[in-house]
Amino acid sequence: MTTNKQYNVAVVGATGAVGQKIIQFLEEKPFQVNRIKLLSSKRSAGTKVLFDGKEVTVEEATPNSFEDIDIAFFSAGGAVSKQLAPEAVKSGAIVVDNTSAYRMDKDVPLVVPEVNEEDLKNHEGIIANPNCSTIQMVAALKPLQDAFGISRVIVSTYQAVSGAGLSAQDELTGQTKQYLDGEEMTANILPAGADKKHYPIAFNALPQIDVFEENGYTKEELKMINETKKILHEPELHVAATCVRLPVFTSHSESVYVETKKEDISVKEIRQTLEGGAGLVVEDDPSTQTYPTPLSASGKKEVFVGRIRKDLDANNGFHLWVVSDNLVKGAAWNTVQIAESLVKNNLV
C-alpha cells in the first residue's frame, strides 16, 4: 500500500458466484474501502449482505447507481456491462469488468497483473478481466515467453461447473442426487444456457463451453485463443484450444502443450523458470505422485503447475498441467488485483 486514500466501490452482480468472492477479497483490504455499494437485478434487491461485519442492503443496479463511486466491479453478465459500464464511466468511476463484453476492444486493457500490469496505464475508464481459463494459462506461459520465447500453444481444458454460475452448480448437485436415486437426470443449463439442447453434466464430460461459432470452435475456445494473443502481445502466436466441462465444482485444469522459440532447453530449465514465475506454484514430482488437482487448488489465489515434461518428438515442445480456482484467480481475485494495481500506480 502506497496510499491512505479511501475508495468508494460498487459491486454489480454482488449476489452471484463471482460477486460474492469479490466482496470477500475486498474485506482483506487490498486497499481501503470507504463505502461499498452492492448491486444486483431487481430479484435480489433488498437482500442483506455482510461486509466487514456490517450489514449492507443490496440495491437494484440502474444507470444512476454510480455517483461518487471510484471503482465499479462488474460481474453480472455481458448485457449488463454493455448497458451500465458506460454509465459508470460517465459518472467518474473506473470499471473493472469480469464479462466478455469489452475484452477484445482495442482501447480496453485486458489484464493479468503478473503478466501485463503495464497495460493498465492506457485505460480509458474500462479495464477487462480475462476469461478464467485464459488467466491461468497466460500466468504459466509468461515466464516461458520471457525466458525462451514461445511459438505455439495447444490447450485442452477440464473446466468446473462454477464457471457457468451458481445455477450450474445447483444443476450438478441435483443431477448427482437424481442419478444416485435411479431417477432420470434433468438438464436445463449446461453446456450453454443460451443454446437449444442441454445435456447432463453429472458423471459426464461435455466438449462444449458456450455456443458454437461458424468455424466449429466454441466461443470459450475462441476467447482463449484471442485473449492469449492480446495479453501476451503476440498476435502471431499459434494457439489452439479445446474446452471441456467436467462434473467438478471448482477449479479449472488444463493440459497445455507449448513450443519454445529457443531450442534444446531442458525440463530442469523449464521447471526453474516456472518456479520463479509471479503467482505460480510448481507442484511436480512423479516419484511422490505430486501434482495439482482441482480439489487441492480450490480456495487458493495461485496458479499451480505440474506434470512438466519434454515432448518425446519435438525438441522444443513441453507439456504442463495447469490448475487454478476459476472463481478466485480466474475471476474475483484477478479483478481485485487489477483494482489494487490501479491504486498502487495512482491510476484511479
**Residues designated as active site:** 132, 252
Rule CB under 6 A: is residue 306 a binding residue for ligand NAP? no
165 is a contact residue toward ligand NAP (CB under 6 A): yes
Grid cell at residue 331: 475471476
User: What amino acid is encoded at 287 in this protein?
Assistant: S
Provide, rounded to whole angstroms, the least separation between the CB of residue 43 and ligand NAP: 4
# of chain residues touching ligand NAP (CB under 6 A) = 30
Q: Which residues pair with 73 in a beta bridge?
A: 11, 96
Per CB under 6 A, 61 contacts ligand NAP: yes
CB 279 within 8 Å of CB 142:
no
Q: How far apart, in whole angstroms, are the C-alpha atoms of residue 92 and residue 174?
A: 43
Hey, which residues does 43 pair with through a beta bridge?
none
**Pairing mode, strands 6-12 and 32-40:** parallel
Give the residue, chosen from 95, 132, 147, 189, that forms a contact with ligand NAP under the rule CB under 6 A.
Answer: 132
Q: Is 17 a residue that touches ligand NAP (CB under 6 A)? A: yes
Does position 49 bind ligand NAP by CB under 6 A? Answer: no
Residue of minimal Cβ distance to ligand NAP = 16
Q: Give CA–CA dist 67/5, Å, rounded.
A: 18
- In the bound state with ligand NAP, the residue whose beta carbon lies nearer, of 113 and 163, is 163
Which of 294, 330 has the CB closer to ligand NAP?
330
C-alpha cell at 163: 464457471
Q: Does 273 sit near ligand NAP (CB under 6 A)?
A: no
CA distances, 77 to each of 122, 178, 228, 296 (Å): 24, 29, 21, 28
Exposure string for 4-32, b = 16+ CB within 10 A, e = fewer: eeebbbbbbbbbbbbbbbbbebbeeebbe
- What is the rounded CA–CA span in Å between residue 116 and residue 110? 8
- Give the three cell numbers for residue 126: 474500462
The pair phi, psi for residue 342, each rounded to 5°, is -60, -45
How many angstroms separate the CA atoms of 21 and 271, rounded? 31
Choice from 109, 191, 279, 330 touching ligand NAP (CB under 6 A)? 330
Rule CB under 6 A: choose which of 8, 24, 41, 178 binds ligand NAP.
41
Q: For residues 14 and 303, which CB has a smaller minimum distance to ligand NAP in the complex?
A: 14
Determine if 224 is a binding residue for ligand NAP (CB under 6 A): no
Contact 300, 328 (CB under 8 A): yes
Tell me the C-alpha distance between 244 and 174, whole Å: 20
Among positions 88-127, residues that touch ligand NAP (CB under 6 A) are 98-99
In the complex, minimum distance from the CB of residue 4 to ligand NAP, in angstroms, rounded to a whole number: 31
Q: How far is the CB of 11 from ligand NAP (least distance, A)?
A: 9
Among the listed ranges 148-156, 271-279, 299-307, 325-333, the one in contact with ligand NAP (CB under 6 A) is 325-333
Write down the least CB distance from residue 109 to ligand NAP, Å: 16
Closest approach of Cβ 82 to ligand NAP, in Å? 11
Please state whether beta strands 150-159 and 252-260 pair in parallel, antiparallel, or not at all (unpaired).
antiparallel
Q: Is residue 163 part of the contact set for ligand NAP (CB under 6 A)?
A: yes
Q: Which stretch binds ligand NAP (CB under 6 A): 160-168, 185-193, 235-243, 285-293?
A: 160-168
- Catalog residues that contact ligand NAP under the rule CB under 6 A: 12-19, 40-41, 43-44, 61, 75-78, 80, 98-99, 132, 162-163, 165-167, 326-327, 330-331
